[in-house]
Amino acid sequence: MSDTIHVQNIRCYGYTGFLPEEQVLGQWFEVDLTLWVDLSQAGQSDCLEDTVDYRQAIEKVQQLVRSARFALVERLSEAIAEAILTLTGVTQVRVRLTKEAPPIPDFGGQIVIDILRSRPRNERAG
């Protein structure tokens, strides 16, 4: 299936990081999602029930970033993917998680985790 919904620039303050101060002081993260979903029925019916309500995806990302206290951004990315794959109709998700200002001396860039996860084939109906 090639239909996708892109949800970009979900910016949240969170507490994931290896260093103790990252889990206490927190930092900004940005998440971009690509949701694979069959959009053909919604394209014909114009009904929200026939597509993925991307507000739910945004809410799941915001809740996880704000509440999780993982050591690794890789784990936070995986948790986001797992949560998004619970949404009805989503068969695959790409999560791009950006750590906007990692506390690394003399480094002004960003760290980006980019993962692609699929719902197991036996769970794809629905």
- pLDDT reported for residue 122: 67
Tens-level pLDDT at each residue, the chain (126 residues): 589 999 999 999 999 999 888 888 999 999 999 999 999 999 999 999 999 999 999 999 999 999 999 999 999 999 999 999 999 999 999 999 999 988 888 999 999 999 999 988 766 555
CATH number at residue 54: 3.30.1130.10
Cα gap 98→122, rounded to integer Å: 31
Question: What's the structural domain count of the chain?
Answer: 1
Q: What is the CA radius of gyration of the chain?
A: 16
DSSP state of 104: -
Give me the catalytic one of 37, 57, 91, 99.
99
Q: Is the pTM of this model over 0.85?
A: yes
Q: Is 99 a catalytic residue?
A: yes
Q: What is the DSSP string of 25-53?
A: H-EEEEEEEEEE---HHHHHH--GGGS--
Name the residue range of residue 86's domain.
4-123
